[in-house]
Chains A and B, each alone.
Chain A
Amino acid sequence: QKEVEQNSGPLSVPEGAIASLNCTYSDRGSQSFFWYRQYSGKSPELIMFIYSNGDKEDGRFTAQLNKASQYVSLLIRDSQPSDSATYLCAATGNQFYFGTGTSLTVIP
Chain B
Amino acid sequence: KAGVTQTPRYLIKTRGQQVTLSCSPISGHRSVSWYQQTPGQGLQFLFEYFSETQRNKGNFPGRFSGRQFSNSRSEMNVSTLELGDSALYLCASRSPGFYTEAFFGQGTRLTVV
Q: Does A45 contact B (CB under 8 A)?
A: yes
A-B contact count (CB 8 A): 50
* Cβ distance A94 to chain B, nearest Cβ, rounded Å: 7
4 additional contacts (CB under 8 A) given A43-B105, A86-B42, A99-B43: A42-B106, A92-B100, A95-B48, A96-B102
Q: Does B41 contact A (CB under 8 A)?
A: yes
- CB within 8 Å of A: which of B34-71? 35, 41-45, 48, 55-56
List residues of chain B with CB under 8 Å of any chain A CB: 31, 33, 35, 41-45, 48, 55-56, 90, 92, 94, 98-102, 104-107
Structural contact, B43 and A100, CB atoms closer than 8 A = yes
**Whose C-beta in chain A lies nearest to the C-beta of B109?**
A41
| Count of residues in A whose CB is under 8 Å from the partner chain | 22
List residues of chain A with CB under 8 Å of any chain B CB: 31-32, 34, 42-46, 49, 51, 86, 88, 90, 92, 94-101
